[in-house]
Structure 1
Amino acid sequence: LAAAGHDHGPAFLGLTRLWRRDDEVFAEVTGPTALDAPRHALHPALLTAALQPLLAEAGPAAVPAEWRGAVLHTPGTAALRLHATRTGEDAFALAVTGPDGVPVATVESVRLRRLDGLRPADARPDRFLTLTWPETPLPADPAVSWTVAAPGIPGLAEPGAPDRPDDAEFVLLPVTSASTLLPELLAWLAGDSPARLVIVTRHAVTVAAGDVQDLAPAPVWGLVRAAQSEHPGRITLVDLDGHESSLIALPAALALDEPQVALRQGVAHVPRLVTATPADFPSEPGRSAGTVLVSGSGDLAGAAAEHLVTVLGRDRLLLVGADAELAERLRGLGADVLVAADGAADRESLAEALALLPAEHPLTGVVHVADSDVESVLTSYTPEQFTTGLRRAGDAAWNLHELTLGLDLDLFALLTPHVSGVLGGTGQGARAATGAYLDALAHHRATLGLPGVAVAWGPREEDAGSGRPGLVPAGKGQSAPLFGL
């Protein structure tokens, strides 16, 4: 499955036993230890794991595309037995029971669609996308009702408040950081309120230059984008700018059929991905006698370092938090490599590593690869796990920013191997928050007149199983332009 692109992450590795008999498939599935099954009619981790045998039957690049006659009999089950019977080409009837044989769900037909025709893409210009915030018209006379879950939106008028808070269509929750949001978000998702939760931030996203004034709210957008993927239709994101006209426009923004909205001076903007133009990329740094710091480990950090040496001719590198194998590989390419074992999250060790650079080869570039090792649906990990992972990734990027402020850099690239910070994704909350933070830091540096670019990867052909449903991998050797180098 992983080789075919179906690597869903550790939270979805629930398949424990599997049998096949002619056109029938039998499987047993259990949820992760932290699974809170009663919160869901059918937990997404269990459902994803239960469908994995069908994906294997249908061949590579198959996804569930059509459901008919799905009936839930017993909600809140923590383990499943699946009996799937092939009813046609790439179509199956499902009978799902609990370990005790009690019926959980039946599906008359689930049809899989093969994506075999999608091949790793070439590095054509329309492969590169950037996030924009075009204006969108607001309804003139919105009829919405809301209530505010907590204080923190000064100046918000109350004409939209219902007679009873329980009757509100929207519940507004002002938020300043992702770590404080998560407990409240989990509590909301555990409830059964028909209202939509509206997460309200201030200057968390960059609609125009200079928008991001504080990096703390930025990860909120990544976290909630992942939550929107896991719980569609339950959460809206609204970013304000502090102008009175934006507060006045807030009710109209709630009436939009948009999951994410930014209000600037009373004008609504919505996020859209568009094809990047050359102006969206920084100018290519030239060959330099200086040193480039490469922070992070894994395949992406290795690819970035090799690109610096073999394509850009930046052959003096300081590897921070990388392994010895990468250093030797780079030396084999002719690079002059220094290695600092501790990662960039350790500020003191990072400062010591920078001090080791000789005056004739000063630091002139930074490439930082950040990721989170927390991969699970939101309801399956604790706020402490989330906060620890986000702090580690955020501290490393911020330390690199602060400790290089006085240096003459021509390159500062922040890379993440996932697009979840923009697109969300099931089980991607921590990674999405990290990606959103890196993007905000790049915009912050741009406001200061400093070099900075944040690049989020889609799947790459050379990283089998690292993809995201709906995204076609980039072909081998086609990822280099995505470095922004």
Structure 2
Amino acid sequence: RSVRVHSRRESEGVGAGWVLHADGVLGAGAGGPVPAFDLTAWPPPGAVAVRTDDAYELLHQQGYVYGPVFRGLKAVWRRGDDVFAEVELPEQAHGDAERFGLHPALLDATMHALGVGEGVTGDEPTELPFSWTDVSLHAAGARSLRVRLSPQGVNSLSLSLADQDGAPVATVGGLMFRPVSVEQLSGVGVGGGLHEVVWRPLVSAGVVEGVGVSGGVVFEVPSVGVGVGVDPVVGVRSVLGGVLDRVKGWLADEGEGVEGGGPLVVVTRGGVSVGVGDGVDVCVAPVWGLVRAAQAENPGRIVLVDVDASGGVFGDVAGVVLASGEPEVAVRGGVVLVPRLVEVPAGAGGAVDGVPGVVGDGVVLVTGGTGGLGGLVARHLVEVHGVRRLVLAGRRGSDAPGVGVLVGELEGLGAEVSVVACDVSDRGAVAGLVEGVGAGLVGVVHAAGAGDNGLVGSMDGARLDRVLGAKADGAWYLHELTRDLGLAFFVLFSSAGGSVLAAGQANYAAANVFLDALAVHRHAEGLPATSLAYGLWDVATGLTEAIDDDARLMAARGLPALAPADALRLFDAGLRSGRAALVPLAVDVPTLKAHPGALHALLRDMVPAEAAPVVRTRTKGAGPAALIARLAGLGTEDRERALLDLVRGHAAAVLGHAGAEAVPAERGFLDSGFDSLTALELRNRLGEVTGCRLAPTLIFDYPSATELATHLRQTLFGEDTPADDLSAATADELFDLLDGDMFGSEA
């Protein structure tokens, strides 16, 4: 059968061209019998070891940039013209191996051996695999390989791949390489797309009735509503303060007294909009941002549920909701819905060039416009959309760093620019700002914001107030004071920190969800509004000065930073879409697939389930039970060493390093580059792999890899349990011996 592989970005639309990546021929049984090559003797007799400690530095100089999962080269030998190598998937990708015939990172690593050794300087030309012939797979799901690469003429070689026992895994009769230039690779990457949250049915109406909440506690959030006599600025603080106190209390006592250690179920009414005509309470909606942060920091401890504002009852479907494992759901008419992030097709809502409406000589107000993202948007409005009158509002006004240069650039482009000092958390100041612009105001871009990151346990009313002021209060005041001016557009700069990146920023997440809800609320009133919940921009701002570290960490999570050009392209697409709440985000699906255990529920549709290969290589057990059984059979020193390797490996993966050696055993985690967000990720990873319930302050309580490894050993096995007492125990017996509260239900 002939095979061709083409692709195009979904966001480019049906009229875009397709790119041909590969073509070939598949044949049934073309590989014939299992080959007779022998790699059982290892290292190969007569082969000379080659230095590999600088392998990836050399490969980088040659133009190859490999992420953590692809750095699998462990050892290299040469014997004559043949090259032998040992390659292995890093531990964080082991669980992914069985989903492939041969994991692409493992296959790629077999060729890394060609870029090291005596005589390799790093100045060699960049070459990529071009033509594969006679490729056969003999066993699937390998985590490690023994490899022989043998030359087959100019720029061609054959490969023989075996498992850790020397049994054949795959053969490649011929592989040709061709040089590639930087220009040929330009434009390759994750450019970002426009996404939105859709709600999909989980259970049809009437499936489960009268089922109570088992092993959990329900906390119903009081509704406030937006109407006569209700000030959302006050109301949102009242609601959030009550929820914060309840969540902090729950987490502090670890749900004591709850049978089975069940979750706290936070129930809202009108907290989310699940579709056209479904209203949202702007005072209650921010609860979802705050609780999402608590969920990310404490996996499995809290469930979010939104019910009909008209009086839907959660108890009717409680059993289904809790059994589903979904962290957040909505119940409408007895139907359970779950949220998923999906890409918005290009041109959705009707494509119109430029900003909506007729701007002409009208004035566009940009809050937070004296620097950072606001300054970039101001330039974009002038250069691309022809805006000629701008008011840039910022807390420091003309005293903001770089504002003089920005104004000079905008004026050089033909714009008339006014800079105004305004604290948008002050209603009187916003009223003066809007009155000063006058009737000529045609558009608003609210990009002002403030950050105050911290774990949910450290949050209080003052920290909520500090972040809500610039974002939420300012947005509401702008909404109130401009609603009768007939604006052409009203853009709110929200953040994915309200949804998929909420950990460590409960106050910021709540403020951003308020913006999303306000956009929905304005649409219901027939007013223009576009809330853009951006992922990280690849540019330093007042909120993200450490952009290099932030961008690297986000990329390691599968959510790389947006280049400014892509972010502004999505700004235009969002305006044209006619939708109220959108998520401009770059999503690196292969990286998400490499860490399925850390996948946020909103992103689950980004990584569809795949059929597993039928043929398998032998793999050791996985999961907490297998880990504990393996550790139990080790002596005390070996057990601690294994746990130290485990801690260092996961710490390196969180920080985006190639291997565990990048995290010194005795060096403090904070000195190695950890912050509160990466600390949480490491805690969650170790909790998942060991089955232990670990504190959010884990790396602060045990500030080095050595101390943390010791803590894990004591948690799993106690202070004085001899290895011999457990070495012959089965996994089930180990569960009986260990404290059951350490393990989740899946363990």
**TM over 0.5, shorter chain:** yes
Please tell me whether the aligned partners of residues 219 and 436 of structure 1 are also in contact (alpha carbons under 8 angstroms): yes
Secondary structure in 2 matching 1:200 = strand
Deviation at residue 355 of structure 1 after TM alignment = 2.1
Amino acid at match of 1:273: L
Q: Contact (CA 8 Å) 2:430, 2:474: kept in 1 or not? A: no
What does residue 712 of structure 2 align with?
A: none
Distance 1:280 1:129 in 2: 13
Report how far residue 60 of structure 1 moved. 8.9
Residue 558 of structure 2 is matched in structure 1 by 470
Instruction: Give the superposition deviation at 1:254.
Output: 3.0
Deviations 1:6-38 (A, max 9, x none): xxxxxxxxxxxxxxxxx9xxxxxxxxxxxxxxx
Q: Would you say 1:400 and 2:472 are equivalent positions?
A: no
Q: Take 1:457 and 1:403, find their aligned partners in 2: how far apart are those partners?
A: 25
Looking at structure 2, the residues matched to 332 and 263 of structure 1 have their Cα atoms a distance apart, in angstroms, of 54
Residue 431 (structure 1) aligned with residue 504 (structure 2): no
Who is 1:220 aligned against? Answer: 287
Shift of 1:388: 3.1
Distance 1:281 1:430 in 2: 35
Matched, 1:364 2:452: no
Return the offset for 1:195.
Answer: 1.7
Contact 2:212 2:315 survives alignment (8 Å): no
Question: Which amino acid in 1 is paired with 2:532?
Answer: V
Q: How large is the RMSD of aligned CA atoms in angstroms?
A: 3.2
The answer to whether the 8 Å contact 2:424/2:469 transfers is no
Residue from 308, 313, 318 that aligns with 2:386: 313
Counterpart-to-counterpart distance in 2, 1:281 and 1:217: 32
Which has the larger displacement, 374-383 or 312-321? 374-383
| Compared CA separation, residues 139 and 234, structure 1 to 2 (3 A) | farther
**Amino acid aligned to 1:330:** L
| Range with greater deviation from structure 2 (328-337 or 298-307) | 328-337
Alignment of 1:253-264 (within 5 A): 253-264=321-332
SS in 2 for 1:389: helix
Give the secondary-structure state (helix, strand or coil) at the position aligned to 2:417.
strand
Quick check: 1:183 aligned with 2:235? no
1:246–1:267 CA contact under 8 A, matched in 2: no
After TM superposition, give the deviation of residue 139 of structure 1 in Å. Answer: 9.3
Please state if 1:452 is matched with 2:529: yes
Alignment of 1:210-359 (within 5 A): 210-243=277-310, 246-247=313-314, 249-251=316-318, 252-277=320-345, 278-279=347-348, 283=352, 284-285=355-356, 286-297=358-369, 298-321=371-394, 322=397, 323=400, 324-325=403-404, 326-357=406-437
Q: Residues of 2 paired with 1:330 and 1:411: CA distance?
A: 21
* Paired letter, 2:428: E
Q: Deviations over 1:239-278 (max 9, x none)?
A: 0114555445332333322111011111111110111133
Q: What whole-Å deviation, never above 9, does each CA across 1:369-402 have from its counterpart, x for those lacking one?
A: 1433111121233332123322442110000000
Which one is further off, 321-330 or 277-286? 277-286
**Structure 2 CA distance for aligned equivalents of residues 377 and 474 of structure 1:** 26
The separation in 2 between residues aligned to 1:184 and 1:480, in whole angstroms, is: 40
Which string of whole-angstrom CA distances, capped at 9 and with x for unpartnered residues, describes residues 296-342 of structure 1?
A: 15411111111111110112111121533333442233211122201
Counterpart in the other structure of 1:96:
none
Counterpart of 1:409 (choices 468, 472, 487) is 487
Structure 2 residue aligned with 1:50: none
More helix per residue: 2
1:200 maps to which residue?
267
Aligned counterparts of 2:207 and 2:430: Cα–Cα separation in 1:
55
Letter in 2 for 1:292: V
C-alpha distance in structure 2 between counterparts of 1:234 and 1:288, whole Å: 53
Q: Contact 2:304–2:328 at 8 Å: present in 1 too?
A: yes
Q: Which 10-residue stretch deviates more, 312-321 or 134-143?
A: 134-143
**How big is each residue's C-alpha offset from its partner over 1:104-150, in whole Å with a ceiling of 9 and x where there is no partner?**
xxxxxxxxxxxxx9965236xxx22111112222597659xxxxxxx
| 8 Å CA contact 1:118, 1:472 repeated in 2 | no
Note the C-alpha offset of 1:160.
Answer: 2.2
Q: Deviation of residue 430 (structure 1)?
A: 1.7
Once residues 349 and 298 of structure 2 are traced to their aligned partners in structure 1, the CA distance between those partners, rounded to angstroms, is 33
Q: Distance in 2 between matches of 1:235 and 1:225?
A: 9
Question: Which of the numbers 177, 194, 197 marks the counterpart of 1:128?
Answer: 194
In structure 1, distance between residues paired with 2:335 and 2:483: 35
CA distance in 1, matches of 2:435, 2:470: 22
Structure 1 residue 388 corresponds to structure 2 residue 498: no
Query: Aligned AA for 1:208?
Result: G
1:134, 1:269 within 8 Å by CA — same for their partners in 2? yes
Kept in 1, the 8 Å contact 2:471–2:512? The answer is: no
For structure 1, the residue ranges without an aligned partner over 5 or more in a row are 1-22, 24-58, 69-88, 90-116, 144-156, 162-167
Q: Give yes or no for contact 1:227–1:424 (8 Å, CA) kept in 2.
A: no
What is the distance in 2 between the residues matched to 1:329 and 1:406? 33
Cα distance in 2 for residues equivalent to 1:386 and 1:223 = 10
CA contact (8 A) 2:463 2:507 kept: no
Residue 324 of structure 2 aligns with an amino acid whose one-letter code is L
After TM superposition, the score normalised by the length of structure 1 is 0.67
Q: Mean alpha-carbon deviation: is it higher for 210-219 or for 304-313?
A: 210-219
Q: How many positions carry a matched residue from both structures?
A: 359
Distance 1:289 1:474 in 2: 31
The answer to whether the 8 A contact 1:172-1:199 is kept is: yes
Identity of aligned residues (%): 37
Shift of 1:213: 4.1
Return 5+ residue gaps in structure 2 as ranges. 1-52, 54-64, 72-89, 94-111, 113-185, 223-238, 256-260, 541-546, 576-747
CA distance in 2, matches of 1:384, 1:62: 40
TM-score scaled by length of structure 2: 0.44
Q: Is the Cα–Cα contact under 8 Å of residues 360 and 387 in structure 2 kept in the other structure?
A: yes
